[in-house]
Amino acid sequence: MTDSSENATTPGSPLSGAANAAIDLAAEIAKETAGRNIPGLGELPVPDDTANLRLGPNLHDGLLALLPLVGVWRGEGQADSPIHGAFNFGQELIFAHNGHNYLSYESRQWKLDEEGNYDPSMEEIREKGFWRISEKDEIEFTCVNSLGAVEIFYGEPFNERAWQLESSSTMVTATGPEKLGPGKRLYGLMPTADLGWVDERLIDGEMKPYMSAELRRVIG
């Protein structure tokens, strides 16, 4: 008798019976995304950033454990923030490289109304930063937030399809959010080939869901 748990999967875990379907789905998505890339001016003596592994410089060998993240991802998510309350948001997330031993990271989030349209009542939230990973697979993520916060995350690959991080240092400017506590993030590729991520924050002495989203690859 076979234990049904042998066929169970979790986000980011290797697929079992659904492996072929996932590969076929990724190939179908690639028909639309494989030829696209983020714009570059090409006027500098250094390579432009690329969010497409098929175009531009080769990915640095030190980043192979982060390779599946490279691309442009778009979708929607939910937030329950001590700063803005509960709301839905749209998001674009870019992981790019230029051949050097780091990934550049950029996130844009905008509030959605009840019909799923852009709601200008809240300013856009943006993040920029860099991901690095050591030879021991220790991830470093430096992140600057448009709300007025700077964070340093450390973590490691959860497996070949997921990455977990925990904030080690959170600094807030004089005009920044007073209630932004330390957090944990998990990024993972789902069986649908989408990228899911979750951010939990320390609120009133306990870790609580802060933001999460499911994003579809549009470039890469």
Please check whether residue 8 lies inside any domain of the structure: no
How far apart CA 220 and CA 217 sit, in angstroms, is 7
pLDDT in the model for residue 150: 94
CB 212 within 8 A of CB 198: yes
Q: What is the pLDDT of residues 136-153, one digit of tens each?
A: 999 999 999 999 999 999
CA atoms within 13 A on the CB side of 209: 11
Please check whether residue 3 lies inside any domain of the structure: no
How far apart CA 5 and CA 137 sit, in angstroms, is 29
- Owning domain of residue 215: 16-219
Please check whether residue 185 lies inside any domain of the structure: yes
Q: What is the pLDDT of residues 182-207, one digit of tens each?
A: 899 999 999 999 999 999 998 878 88
Q: What is the pLDDT of residues 61-73, one digit of tens each?
A: 999 999 999 999 9
CB 49 within 8 A of CB 70: no
For the segment 4-32, the average pLDDT, to the nearest whole number, is 55
- Beta pairing, strands 206-219 & 195-203: antiparallel
Please check whether residue 96 lies inside any domain of the structure: yes
How far apart CA 74 and CA 51 sit, in angstroms, is 13
Please check whether residue 177 lies inside any domain of the structure: yes
141 exposure class (CB count in 10 Å sphere: 0-12, 13-18, 19+): buried
CATH number, position 127? 2.40.128.20
Please check whether residue 7 lies inside any domain of the structure: no
Please check whether residue 56 lies inside any domain of the structure: yes
CB 105 within 8 A of CB 141: yes
Q: How many folded domains does the chain comprise?
A: 1
The model's pTM is 0.85
For the segment 97-120, the average pLDDT, to the nearest whole number, is 97
Please check whether residue 63 lies inside any domain of the structure: yes
